[in-house]
Amino acid sequence: MIKKLLLSAFLICLFDNSFGQNNPVENLTWDHWYEYTHNFFQLNWDEPTQPHNELVGYNIYKNNELYRFQTERTIYNYWTPVYGIVTNCDGESFFFQNTGEPYNNGFVIHVTAVYNPGQIESEYLQTVFDGGLLLSTKYFTQKKAIIFPNPTNGILNIGNENLEKIFVYDVSGKIVNEFSPSSQIDLSNLSKGLYIIKLISLKEIIVDKIVIQ
């Protein structure tokens, strides 16, 4: 009887160790480059080694402060010939603290895996360091789309000046509207949801999110 109990306990421990693991992410890599006038970057990592518990996503940390939770295994901000600047993390704002100030002394990035049950976080084995905005100064100011109201019922006001073209994309990257420079555009023909607006001028391209409700 005792032997059977010991065998059962051993098998339970073996099962837990094989199938109940909160493994860390692997192969964390970071690339950061500058192309006038933008900082582009990509952070990638691999899914934790199997076997592991039910994986629900990843927490990204900057200087040990939680930046965001997401299910993708990458964050990026870069240029493509078709869509221009594309990002899944609000672009160059990644280089700014919660206070709105840039990381002038750089920052350390690490990623943890988040598991069910209980939203348990893994440990992390790797970190990457970034020195902050390239070609930046303490007087650096973020370029933003001046758009309001956002969310909007359809009529969107635009405060940016010297524009040459305005494009609106759906989340798949398809152009759904194109406008000449204007201080107000009408998006009431679009369905409710999330869209991307791109404001193009001679000096820069500004990309932002808009919500139609």
DSSP-derived secondary structure for 5-43 = HHHHHHHHHHHHHHH---PPPEEEEEEEEEETTEEEEEE
Q: Write the DSSP assignment of 177-202 as a string of letters.
A: EEE-S-SEEE-TTSPSEEEEEEEEES
CB atoms within 10 A of CB 175: 13
Least confident interval from 125-129, 149-153, 198-202: 198-202
Instruction: Give yes or no for a contact between 158 and 171, defined as CB atoms under 8 angstroms apart.
Output: no
DSSP 134: T
Q: What is the pLDDT of residues 102-133, one digit of tens each?
A: 887 789 999 999 999 999 999 999 998 988 88
Report the phi/psi class of residue 122: left, alpha or beta, with left for phi > 0 and alpha for psi in -120 to 50. beta
Q: What is the predicted pLDDT for the residue at 134?
A: 83
d(CA 19, CA 172): 36
Average pLDDT, the chain: 84
CATH fold match for the domains 22-130 and 147-212:
yes
Largest alpha-carbon pair distance within the chain?
85
Spatial separation of the C-alpha atoms in residues 17 and 51, rounded to whole Å:
9
Lowest mean pLDDT among 1-5, 27-31, 179-183, 208-212: 1-5
pLDDT at 191 over 80: yes
**pLDDT greater at residue 69 or residue 172:** 69
Beta bridge partners of 61: 66, 110
22-130 folds as Immunoglobulin-like (2.60.40)
pLDDT of 68 higher than 90: yes
Q: How far from 124 is each of 27, 54, 82, 109, 169, CA to CA, in Å?
A: 11, 17, 36, 11, 36
- Looking at residue 42, its pLDDT comes to 92
CATH number belonging to the domain at 147-212, selected among 3.30.450.40, 2.60.40.3080, 2.120.10.70, 2.40.128.20: 2.60.40.3080
Report d(CA 49, CA 72) in Å as an integer. Answer: 16
Q: What are the extents of the domains in the chain?
A: 22-130, 147-212
* Exposure class string for 117-155: b at 16+ Cβ within 10 A, else e: eeeeebebeeebebebbeebeeebeebebebeeeebeee
3 C-beta neighbours (distance < 10 Å), count: 7
